[in-house]
Chain A
């Protein structure tokens, strides 16, 4: 990992207001610039610049050897990334939607994740697989899934999910610099602005959000470190991705003094931040958009129960998507929005 430039803090670096896509694009450009071994590829990422524009302008700037389109074959996209990593490159493949990652799953779970272990460190897979995930964009069942738990279950993979433009840039830089394979899921509902869960209210742009202030230049946010979004005493909320913003809005509206933790990295998890908070508040609410059964929330609930049981004053609450495919027309019935979260908060605090 490069340490020649220390992380820049928001206080002293010049910043601009960026959306999440622009922040991701900037991180990619910066890493292409800094490290000649970084290569970027995926479906439509080259000339076109990606269906969400995350790689816009990169091919023009860095050439077709560094940024290029691929066949529609996720097994091949991840498979070549493993081989490139073995050569010594640092590939950053894009999977167009997390929903399409499954044909590449074997290459991730059986190959990338285990190269270092099975070769005792002779070969590694220093790749970062970027993929937009999550619903709330009327994407139907094949453009809305949140499959993060499947990847957290694989030893050897790291799973990272940003929730702001500031974090997206810093975490993506850290992920690319990391020598282990990183699954970098981007919450596409908040690509262009934070989302409070009230689908019927006007959309906000990132410019009005403090975390759209993104420092110029290089900085990285260490993987495995959570962010305290808001300090509070009444309860701990564990969330990531778009749900961080939904939780923030709902709890503010309910007037609950909640401590909201954006996990940022699911594996390795910042267990210290979780423990410290739950021990302080005695209440814990876990929120994710993904389906409920065997979701990452189950893991969080187990960890909190194992490690903070004697601090808990109420059963841990868990708010998730339903165990159905993501429905198209009933998207907002599926989405774990203000009503579902509000009920869980009331149960947790006995205020219902």
Chain B
């Protein structure tokens, strides 16, 4: 190591020693939970600026929290999107279906039917309410917890399960980790697994739409953890520079696997506040309030469609379950966090709102829960006929070498022949 330059202030001076700050969450396993540091705004009190306003008008909202559903389960304030009860019931149903789907698939993984699964429990509103606010042909660049959008857009659960089981009917030919869907027919981009890469891609798609004089907009999702990636900041810069018609959803579910949001910068300011630095519109929304999410998404979509550019939306929510089937949150966070989360559960809140409106009942909800569970069970049975991971019924062997390029080059043909030879030795009874 090089010698430090000599100087009176280097060592032994009277300056205090520097110290490194390593963020520490408020609670760990077994601890009591104290959420008093969270500034939870009262529902209905946040102003709703005009959709075509200057970006700076939105910036106070980046330090606030847009909320519509109050403690009595009424929709209040200027952000109330005034949806009709039928739309609310449809939204509730997709959220319940998503939760039932997650539960079934999680169990499927535990039963050895696949290698991996990721739930979105507690975060359903952040994707599903947005899907209701956007047009079905607006392009979604998901991170990996937006299965609710596929279900909201009517994607077949059987197809989704085929992908999760990597079976012979998997349209992705068994190549992708479970839940890394791709659904061009539902305007749902192929999920990467590399984090935040989808952000500049969504901006590029939005720029293309603007170049072509189209009317469709793009939206992407990124977690608060992966918003530390350079790709997120590249996306924000390009979105700002070209005033791209894109909605960047930053889902702040408090956790990046085991690392609390402090490691992404939450001790300093909100994630929505980053919008101000880039000079674009920003909103910070109660992500467990489906009406608030809908209203924010609709605001941003209308703005983008009117050529007024991008919006960053921070969805403030809580990851109620582990990161994935490979994770056990019990070893790094207090179990009481979920129970005491001050913004509740998105499905419960929408349910109580509908009941408060006189448009729903506990009995109807129970019937609905049974129906969606049945739907999932039926779809799962159907999908299992096509096989589960590691139990035969895969795609034809040669597909491993297809789609690397449009045409198969000589070196891949040679490698495919090698693989076929190995197959005859390793699995002599293989049938295709």
Binding site for B on A (CB under 8 A): 39, 65-66, 70-71, 73, 75-76, 78-89, 91, 103, 106-107, 110-111, 115-124, 155-156, 158, 178-180, 224, 267-269, 271
Contact = CB atoms under 8 A, between A and B. Distances in A.
A316 B194 CA distance: 40
A155 B404 contact: yes
Contact of A118 (B190, B201, B209, B405): B190
B147 to A, nearest CB: 17
B204 interface: yes
B176 A118 contact: yes
Given A75-B230, A158-B405, A271-B410, A80 B238 contact: yes
B38 interface: no
B96 interface: no
B238 A76 contact: yes
5 contacts: A79-B200, A80-B207, A88-B208, A107-B197, A268-B410
Contacts of B139: 86-87
A155 B408 CA distance: 12
B184 to A, nearest CB: 4
Contacts of A155: 404
B241 interface: yes
Contacts of B192: 110-111, 118
A71 B404 contact: no
The 6 lowest CB-CB distance pairs between A and B, nearest first, are A79-B200, A83-B204, A80-B204, A76-B234, A87-B208, A83-B201
B184 A123 contact: yes
Interface string B118-150: 000000000000000000000101000000000
A82 B201 contact: yes
Contact of B218 (A82, A83, A178): A83
B202 interface: yes
B234 A79 contact: yes
Contacts of A107: 197, 200, 231
Contacts of A122: 171, 182-184, 190
A124 B189 CA distance: 11
B141 A83 contact: yes
Contact of A86 (B175, B205, B237, B406): B205
Given A76-B234, A79-B238, A106-B194, 8 more contacts: A71-B234, A79-B235, A82-B201, A110-B192, A111-B192, A117-B404, A120-B175, A268-B411
B409 A224 contact: yes
B406 A110 contact: no
A86 B405 contact: no
A268 B182 CA distance: 27
Contact of A83 (B203, B237, B404, B406): B203
Given A107-B200, A118-B176, A123-B182, A71 B194 contact: no
Contacts of B241: 70-71
B201 A79 contact: yes
B100 interface: no
Greatest chain B CB density within 10 A among A71, A119, A156, A180 is at A119
A79 B409 contact: no
B152 interface: no
A103 B230 contact: yes
B238 A106 contact: no
B338 interface: no
A85 to B, nearest CB: 8
A71 B238 contact: yes
A275 to B, nearest CB: 11
B206 interface: yes
B180 interface: yes
Greatest chain A CB density within 10 A among B204, B234, B238 is at B204
Contact of B208 (A83, A103, A224): A83
Interface of B: 139, 141, 171-173, 175-176, 180, 182-184, 189-190, 192, 194, 197, 199-209, 211-212, 218, 230-231, 234-235, 237-238, 241, 403-406, 409-411
Nearest to B234: A76
Contacts of B189: 86, 123
Contacts of B172: 118-120
B211 A80 contact: no
A258 B141 CA distance: 53
A271 B412 CA distance: 13
B190 A119 contact: yes
A107 to B, nearest CB: 6
Contact of B194 (A88, A111, A116, A123): A111
A79 B190 contact: no
A65 B208 CA distance: 9
Nearest to A265: B409
Greatest chain A CB density within 10 A among B172, B176, B231, B403 is at B403
A268 B235 contact: no
A84 B211 CA distance: 10
A104 B404 CA distance: 20
Contacts of B203: 76, 79-80, 83
Contacts of A75: 200, 230-231, 234
A80 B200 contact: yes
A171 B405 CA distance: 18
A276 to B, nearest CB: 14
A115 B194 CA distance: 12
B410 A86 contact: no
A90 to B, nearest CB: 10
Nearest to A113: B404
A120 B172 CA distance: 5
B172 to A, nearest CB: 5
A80 B201 contact: yes
B194 A117 contact: no
Contacts of A120: 171-173, 175, 182, 403
B372 to A, nearest CB: 28
Contact of A116 (B171, B230, B237, B403): B403
B211 A89 contact: yes
A111 B171 contact: no
Nearest to B208: A87
Contact of B200 (A39, A76, A85, A88): A76
B190 A83 contact: no
B211 to A, nearest CB: 5
A46 to B, nearest CB: 12
A85 B189 CA distance: 12
Contacts of A88: 208
B194 A110 contact: yes
Contacts of B212: 87, 89
Given A75-B200, A83-B203, A119-B184, A179 B194 contact: no
A269 B194 CA distance: 29
B230 A65 contact: no
B406 A179 contact: yes
Greatest chain A CB density within 10 A among B176, B202, B235, B405 is at B405
B207 A123 contact: no
